[in-house]
Structure 1
Amino acid sequence: MSDPFTEIRYVGDHRADVLRNAGYDSLDELSQASRDEIASIDGFEDGIAERVVRHFKNEQ
């Protein structure tokens, strides 16, 4: 079974685990997070956080 978090560019298995450990259990929860909230997670510097936010904006 594919991990939904890994559908986001630059999010592999490790970063998916990091997101879960940070309290995000679903793509819906993550889509509500701000760039700053995501950037505060270890391993998600500003550039990666911006790409995550853009991922959800492009889906709308």
Structure 2
Amino acid sequence: MSDQFTEIKYVGEHRADVLSQAGYTSLEELSQATKQEVASVDGLDEAIAERIVHHFEKER
């Protein structure tokens, strides 16, 4: 299920697993998260959170 997160640049298998373990179950759900919410996930930092949020902003 976490494989879908690897579609995001800079998110490989490890970070995808971290997002799944944090409770994110879909790209749609992750797209609604704020940078602060993503950065609060253990194993992710603010720079990666910024890139994830930016990924979804580009799609809008």
Normalising by structure 2, report the TM-score: 0.92
Where structure 1 has 5 or more consecutive residues not aligned to the other structure, the ranges are none
What is the distance in 2 between the residues matched to 1:43 and 1:59?
25
Does residue 30 of the first structure (1) align with residue 18 of the second (2)?
no
What is the distance in 2 between the residues matched to 1:29 and 1:56?
11
Shift of 1:11: 0.5
Equivalence map 1:1-60=2 (5 Å): 3-60=3-60
Where structure 2 has 5 or more consecutive residues not aligned to the other structure, the ranges are none
Give identity over the alignment, percent: 64
Paired positions, count:
58
- For residue 12 of structure 1, what is the amino acid of its counterpart? G
Normalising by structure 1, report the TM-score: 0.92
